[in-house]
Structure 1
Amino acid sequence: MSDIVFPKVTLKLATSMDGRIATRSGHSQWITGAESRTRVHELRAQHDVVLVGSGTALADDPMLTVRLDPEPTKQPIRMVVDSSLRTPMTHKLVTTAREYRTILVSGLHMEEEDEIPFVAEGVEVWSLAIAPAGGVSIRALLARCAEEGIESIFLEGGGKLAASFLKANMVDHIEWFRAPIVIGGDGIACLASLEIESLNEVSAWERIRLEVLGEDVWESFSKKL
């Protein structure tokens, strides 16, 4: 895989001031305001893929399309990392798969018969290697994306998948939308554990944008080389 040019990955965060994406009960709509949400749709339109984890897909039943006026001529591919194929057949991502290209990324441990119902509805299923720590291998996923000609990915969550990409050092940019609210430590964090023991292990980022959107703040970061 050393010669493969991986797609560029942008991580989107939409949080409270204290980095929470939902209350302890899971309530999250809407943390950020309408202007921030419009910017998110504009960013989606600039990427080949919009990617989420299975937890986000289960909790939010999202469409993951670009909703702007006018609608873009080409929608990004919708992709869910769902190693055990937990996405319900009734979810929008499945029921609209013939209209918008949709990919579920499962683990190699899944049986072909588990994929058949999704394929019958027009969903593509990629069976990829599982990482030693569990979950789909990030490098295997990016390698498959590269083979498919995918050059850019907009990663919208959740916290576990975002942490996996960061631990694999596979995030190039961060777009962080922050609302002027505080949820507290019992809220749901935007990132799962990165297992960092020392400040010498942290990744360094350069802020390249600071913009006020209504009551929110939008910051863009690029990874320092």
Structure 2
Amino acid sequence: MNLYSAVSKSPHRSGTCGPNYLQRLLRLDSPGTQTILSGPESKAMTHYLRSQHDVIIVGVGTAVADNPALNCRIEGVGLKGQPRPLIIDPSGRWEVESEKGLAECVRLAEEGVGKGPWVFTSLAAPKRNQKWSQALDKVGGAYISIPSSDIDGKKDLDWSKILEKLAQLGMSSVMIEGGGSVINTLLQEKYLHLIDSVMITIAPVWLGQGGVVISPPRRADASGQAIPAARLHQTKWQQFGDDVVMCGRIKQ
């Protein structure tokens, strides 16, 4: 699922679940294993969407497991058509550089075919690795500290503060690709108002047990009656090859 957001005081936020996130959906029992789900048509749509957003966001779990490129692969878009990669990494555990070399999105930025990634960490994150900081600086990326909030007893970055910071940095649109932890957090009641639009790609595939699950906490109304965690309206459907893409807005 892709979540989309626009920045006025805060950026336009879109979220997607499918072509880009689901095609790299991880099996929990074999981290790093990629399962191809979506077809080339919806994948091409994903890269077009990337070219239309200022920022593309993934969580640290996806960044560590997948080492994603987080760029637009449409020929001719140039550096101007590339989104800024943003990794949500509260504790600062994403490796900018390892024994295998630079992280893929950093390598692409070094080659001039992508923008340097920003890494949002918490104010309480451990002292930053100086070598990693220098590698980010070299490609126009940066570590940026964001205030945390307590979510279910766990310290996590506050998404309101994340979007405020992006607006301050001049970003006007955000594409949130995943992973599961990021999407589940944003679909909680306290953050639903931050999401401008949602895009879900449905591929004709059953992944089987062990996959990443998008399942935000249940909600209840004033009488205690269970209600949907989130609901879309103004929905539109479009077929891309064997896949079907649904777009909609969160019903507040």
Q: Above 0.5 in TM-score? A: yes
What secondary structure, in the 3-state scheme, does the structure 2 residue paired with 1:65 have?
coil
Say if 2:187 and 2:229, in contact at 8 Å, map to a contact too.
Answer: no
Q: How does 1:156-167 map to 2 (within 5 A)?
A: 156-167=177-188
What secondary structure, in the 3-state scheme, does the structure 1 residue paired with 2:105 have?
helix
Aligned counterpart in structure 2 of residue 200 of structure 1, from 184, 203, 227: 227
What secondary structure, in the 3-state scheme, does the structure 2 residue paired with 1:114 have?
coil
| Aligned twin of 1:217 | 244
1:115/1:128 CA distance change after superposition, 3 Å: farther
Larger RCO (CA within 8 A; separation ≥ 6): 1
Q: How does 1:168-183 map to 2 (within 5 A)?
A: 168-169=191-192, 170-183=194-207
Aligned counterpart in structure 2 of residue 84 of structure 1, from 61, 77, 91: 91
Q: Distance in 2 between matches of 1:56 and 1:84?
A: 15
**Between the two proteins, what is the percent identity of the paired residues?**
24
1:72/1:221 CA distance change after superposition, 3 Å: farther
| Aligned twin of 2:34 | 28
In the alignment, does 2:50 pair up with 1:44? yes
Unaligned runs of 5+ in 2: 1-7, 221-225
1:120/1:97 CA distance change after superposition, 3 Å: farther
Q: Distance in 1 between matches of 2:16 and 2:35?
A: 16
What secondary structure, in the 3-state scheme, does the structure 2 residue paired with 1:11 have?
strand
Could you state the TM-score of these two structures normalised by the residue count of structure 2?
A: 0.78
1:180/1:201 CA distance change after superposition, 3 Å: closer
1:152-177 Cα offsets, whole Å, 9 max, x none, are: 10001001011122221122111111
What secondary structure, in the 3-state scheme, does the structure 2 residue paired with 1:218 have?
strand
Amino acid in the other structure paired with 2:117? T
Say if 2:71 and 2:105, in contact at 8 Å, map to a contact too.
Answer: no
1:145/1:49 CA distance change after superposition, 3 Å: same
Say if 1:6 and 1:146, in contact at 8 Å, map to a contact too.
Answer: yes
> CA offset at residue 187 of structure 1?
2.1
> CA offset at residue 85 of structure 1?
1.6
Q: Distance in 2 between matches of 1:72 and 1:54?
A: 27
| Aligned twin of 1:12 | 16
Say if 1:106 and 1:126, in contact at 8 Å, map to a contact too.
Answer: yes
Q: Distance in 2 between matches of 1:120 and 1:220?
A: 40
CA RMSD of aligned residues (A): 2.3
Aligned counterpart in structure 2 of residue 147 of structure 1, from 168, 192, 196: 168
What secondary structure, in the 3-state scheme, does the structure 2 residue paired with 1:131 have?
strand
Aligned length: 216
| Aligned twin of 2:223 | none
More strand by share: 2
Could you state the TM-score of these two structures normalised by the residue count of structure 1?
A: 0.86
> CA offset at residue 186 of structure 1?
3.0
| Aligned twin of 1:53 | 59
1:92/1:186 CA distance change after superposition, 3 Å: closer
> CA offset at residue 59 of structure 1?
1.0
Amino acid in the other structure paired with 1:103? W
1:42/1:71 CA distance change after superposition, 3 Å: same
